[in-house]
């Protein structure tokens, strides 16, 4: 399939977006905008949302995702970037996780205002949810990591290493559904702060194990909303 060069590429639109924001926000905030746009650009170059079948042809000719496709593709990666890439591939604190949602929402709104994309309401809603959920998920990860460091059981067995969907939540208790299993595991004791922050359907990557007659989390690697 022939690829028609757009009037403006995603790279050029990102540069325009950052230039447009620079005079409106503080230097510290602008630095966050730059970091998030760079991360999102890295994601696009790695995952090629909507154009994975074109990767070989374009890259062998020296092309890139952001240098080939136009602004109509600029928000196509929001779901995977915010739901997978940020929580699982990026090591950062709550502040940057929140910025990921804030900046991508601002970008989507700006693209519509500039007429580059006709409607970005769905993208803005995804980003708005991420601005709340991503920092909460990072806080849950931090709390669980500290909790497990302090309370790791000396003996356990029947370990299951997997990604677990949160099936049910009660104060101080989680029920987890393993991605590769068929039986919900729980109740699993966790700090009250965790159950106040997380929501059903979130993904916890880690290991659970049998301790006595119950189950415990023994390792946690990531938490994704």
101 and 26 in a common domain: yes
Segment 137-167, tens digit of pLDDT: 999 999 999 999 998 777 788 899 999 999 9
β partners of residue 211: 214
110 and 188 in a common domain: no
130 and 65 in a common domain: yes
123 and 45 in a common domain: yes
14 and 120 in a common domain: yes
Residue 75 within any structural domain of the chain = yes
Number of domains the chain is built from: 2
Arithmetic mean of pLDDT, 88-92: 93
Give residue 7's pLDDT: 84
What range does the domain containing 215 cover? Answer: 152-224
Q: What is the pTM of this model?
A: 0.88
Cα end-to-end distance, the chain, whole Å: 36
17 and 120 in a common domain: yes
Q: Are 208 and 125 within 8 A, CB to CB? A: no
192 and 126 in a common domain: no
Arithmetic mean of pLDDT, 169-184: 94
What are the strands, taking DSSP E only, across 44-196?
157-170, 173-178, 185-189
Res. 212: pLDDT tops 50: yes
Q: What is the CATH number of the domain that holds 196?
A: 2.40.50
Portion of the chain with pLDDT greater than 90, in percent: 89
Phi, psi of 91 (to 5 degrees): -95, 105
Give residue 4's pLDDT: 55
128 and 56 in a common domain: yes
126 and 17 in a common domain: yes
The residues, any chain, with a CB within 8 Å of residue 9's CB and separated by 6 or more, are 66, 67, 68, 69, 70
**How sure is the predictor about 44, in pLDDT bands with cuts at 50, 70 and 90?**
very high
Higher pLDDT, 154 or 52: 52
121 and 216 in a common domain: no
Residue 147 within any structural domain of the chain = no
Res. 1: pLDDT tops 70: no
**How sure is the predictor about 34, in pLDDT bands with cuts at 50, 70 and 90?**
very high
Phi, psi of 48 (to 5 degrees): 50, 55
């Amino acid at each position: 399939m022939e690829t028609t060069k757009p009037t403006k590429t995603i790279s050029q639109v990102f540069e325009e977006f950052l230039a447009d924001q620079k005079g409106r926000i503080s230097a510290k905030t602008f630095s966050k905008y730059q970091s998030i746009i760079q991360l999102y650009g890295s994601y696009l170059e790695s995952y090629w949302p909507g154009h994975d079948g074109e990767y070989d042809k374009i890259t062998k000719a020296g092309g890139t995702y952001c240098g080939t496709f136009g602004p109509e593709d600029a928000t196509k990666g929001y779901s995977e970037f915010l739901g997978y890439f940020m929580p699982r591939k990026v090591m950062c604190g709550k502040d940057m996780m929140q910025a990921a949602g804030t900046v991508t929402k601002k970008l989507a709104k700006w693209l519509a205002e500039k007429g580059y994309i006709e409607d970005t309401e769905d993208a803005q809603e995804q980003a708005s949810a991420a601005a709340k959920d991503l920092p909460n998920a990072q806080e849950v990860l931090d709390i669980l990591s500290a909790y497990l460091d302090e309370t790791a059981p000396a003996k356990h067995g029947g370990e299951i290493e997997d990604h677990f969907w949160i099936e049910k939540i009660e104060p101080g208790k989680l029920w987890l559904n393993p991605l590769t299993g068929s039986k919900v595991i729980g109740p699993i004791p966790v700090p009250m702060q965790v159950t106040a922050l997380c929501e059903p359907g979130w993904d916890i990557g880690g290991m659970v194990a049998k301790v006595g007659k119950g189950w415990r989390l023994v390792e946690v690697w990531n938490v994704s909303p």
